[in-house]
């Protein structure tokens, strides 16, 4: 797909904002995927191409959280098992779903996830000082992480909220460490899903690398802001942008 100069600039700026939002909480792909569709990219290609930037962003953000000693790894292997399995199944569904079905599902899921975060913010914010729980003692976390992995492999947009709900809501990680683990999980299922999408030849590499420029810059900014972000304000920003971008994409051929 060929893009005009202003469209390339718009994608870089938007992916920078999205990268910061993804790192701080989640939902950045709510802005990018509908915009790619507005610019004329088929929904399955937009969904797949966005993963290139997400993968590179995740590598950078995880490295930054680890450098700041905010990445908790004691139970990481157990966390990644349901994430990886769910991501594989989700990506297979997305790769073979018909375009006319995938587009409304993508946008409808984005809007639904944004509404959940606005209405039930407590699901991603446990009280401070709460003791972290182990995966072996929390069966509901396995289900939550499998669902998050499936959703992430399928659509990606808004998956950060599901991951925070599982990591902070069920396993009781604080928001900073939950965000760091969320990005490790994102890297895991994005790796699986990207392999599936490459196999199906659904990735536009030129646009994917353009997205990566903004996503990486946003990741550096997001890690620095993670501790200081106002989650309430961020939820309203993400929700408003999702309504506008998702609504425009829904009515764009």
pLDDT mean over 92-98: 79
**CA distances, 3 to each of 38, 41, 115, 171, 243 (Å):** 12, 10, 32, 44, 24
- Return d(Cα 208, Cα 48) in angstroms, integer: 9
**CA distances, 6 to each of 3, 9, 56, 235, 252 (Å):** 8, 5, 23, 28, 19
By the 8 A CB rule, do 55 and 187 touch? yes
Is the model's pLDDT at 99 over the cut of 80?
Answer: no
**Residue 89 confidence (pLDDT):** 92
By the 8 A CB rule, do 114 and 238 touch? yes
Per-residue pLDDT tens over the stretch 202-238? 999 999 999 999 999 999 988 887 766 665 665 566 5
Residue 242: name the closest of 12, 62, 35 by CA. Answer: 35
CA angle 60, 175, 173 (to 5 degrees): 105
Question: Which residue did the predictor score with more confidence, 6 or 97?
Answer: 6
Min mean pLDDT across 9-13, 123-127, 173-177, 179-183 is at 123-127
Is the model's pLDDT at 150 over the cut of 80?
Answer: yes
**Residue 187 confidence (pLDDT):** 93
Question: Which pTM does this prediction carry?
Answer: 0.81
- Return d(Cα 239, Cα 253) in angstroms, integer: 23
Domain count, the chain: 1
**Residue 137 confidence (pLDDT):** 84
pLDDT mean over 100-123: 66
Range(s) of the domain holding residue 180: 5-250
Question: Which residue did the predictor score with more confidence, 150 or 126?
Answer: 150
User: What average pLDDT does the chain have?
Assistant: 81
- Return d(Cα 130, Cα 8) in angstroms, integer: 44
């Amino acid at each position: 797909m060929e893009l005009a100069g202003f469209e390339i600039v718009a994608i870089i700026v938007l992916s920078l904002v999205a990268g910061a939002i993804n790192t701080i909480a989640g939902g950045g792909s709510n802005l990018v995927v509908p915009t790619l569709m507005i610019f004329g990219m088929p929904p399955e290609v937009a969904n797949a191409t966005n993963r290139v930037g997400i993968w590179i962003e995740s590598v950078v953000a995880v490295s930054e959280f680890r450098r700041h000693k905010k990445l908790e790894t004691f139970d990481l292997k157990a966390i990644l098992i349901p994430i990886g399995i769910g991501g594989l199944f989700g990506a297979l569904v997305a790769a073979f779903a018909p375009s006319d079905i995938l587009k409304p599902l993508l946008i409808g899921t984005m809007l639904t996830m944004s509404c959940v975060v606005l209405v039930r913010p407590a699901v991603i914010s446990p009280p401070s000082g709460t003791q972290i729980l182990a995966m072996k003692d929390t069966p509901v976390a396995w289900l939550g992480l499998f669902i998050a992995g499936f959703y992430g492999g399928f659509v990606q947009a808004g998956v950060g909220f599901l991951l925070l709900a599982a990591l902070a809501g069920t396993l009781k990680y604080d928001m900073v460490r939950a965000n760091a683990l969320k990005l490790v999980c994102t890297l895991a299922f994005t790796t699986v899903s990207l392999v599936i999408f490459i196999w199906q030849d659904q990735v536009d590499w030129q646009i994917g690398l353009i997205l990566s420029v903004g996503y990486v810059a946003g990741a550096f900014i997001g890690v620095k802001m993670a501790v200081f972000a106002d989650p309430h304000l961020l939820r309203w920003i993400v929700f408003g942008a999702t309504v506008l971008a998702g609504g425009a994409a829904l009515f764009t051929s």
